[in-house]
Structure 1
Amino acid sequence: MLELRPTCEHCNRALPPESTEARICSYECTFCAECVDRVLENVCPNCGGGFAPRPVRPSVNWRGDNYLGKDPASTLIKHRPVDVAAHAKFLFEIKKIPPEER
């Protein structure tokens, strides 16, 4: 189950569970859309994978107790600003490779 981390790892922008601006990689590294587009260029600085929009967990118990009330979002903040210079070197190596081929 996704943690639904509360902030962008780079800029620490709030990304509440209902945010449509949250992006995650397959390891659930979480960044805001602006950082993914402008700083990371769709390359996760932690694993090299690409990003996808984070799904929104329902806030209402529509069916089977599958909602935020039973499975709340994480409150653990992972603020680890990206070293932009180091990421630029990493990007140089792999950004031209599509995420599905990395």
Structure 2
Amino acid sequence: MLQLRPNCECCNVDLPPAALNARICSFECTFCADCADTHLQGTCPNCGGELVRRPVRPAGKLANNPPSAERVFKPQGCVMPSQPASVGA
């Protein structure tokens, strides 16, 4: 079952379970659509996998199958391994 992580790893924006702008890779690394499309160009910076829209868990299933509360945030931001880190990031 997907963890449904609550935030974007790059910009830390909240991504609630019903968010249509959440993107994940096969390892469930989680990003917002803006970071995934703009900075990462659809590729996970952690594993190199494809970022796709995260499915929405039906609201009636959330009580027995709650989303994760664990926030993963990488202060260095959205940097692909082949990209140099931006100044001040």
User: Shorter-normalised TM-score: what interval?
Assistant: 0.7 to 0.9
RMSD: 1.4
Tell me, what secondary structure is at the counterpart of 1:5?
Answer: coil
Runs of 4+ residues deviating >6 angstroms: none
Greater C-alpha Rg: 1
Calculate the TM-score normalised by the size of structure 2.
0.86
Calculate the TM-score normalised by the size of structure 1.
0.75
Alignment correspondent of 1:49: 49
Alignment correspondent of 2:25: 25
Alignment correspondent of 1:73: 67
Taking the aligned partners of 1:56 and 1:36, their CA distance within structure 2 comes to 18
How many residues of Structure 1 are paired with residues of Structure 2 in the alignment?
82
The answer on whether the counterparts of 2:42 and 2:52 sit within 8 Å (CA) in structure 1 is no
Tell me, what secondary structure is at the counterpart of 2:82?
Answer: helix
* Pair 52,76 (structure 1): closer, same or farther in 2 beyond 3 Å: same
Unaligned runs of 5+ in 2: 84-89
Unaligned runs of 5+ in 1: 61-66, 91-102
CA deviations over 1:26-81 (Å, ceiling 9, x no partner)? 00000000000111011110000111100000112xxxxxx001000011100014
* Pair 76,39 (structure 1): closer, same or farther in 2 beyond 3 Å: same
Taking the aligned partners of 2:42 and 2:78, their CA distance within structure 1 comes to 15
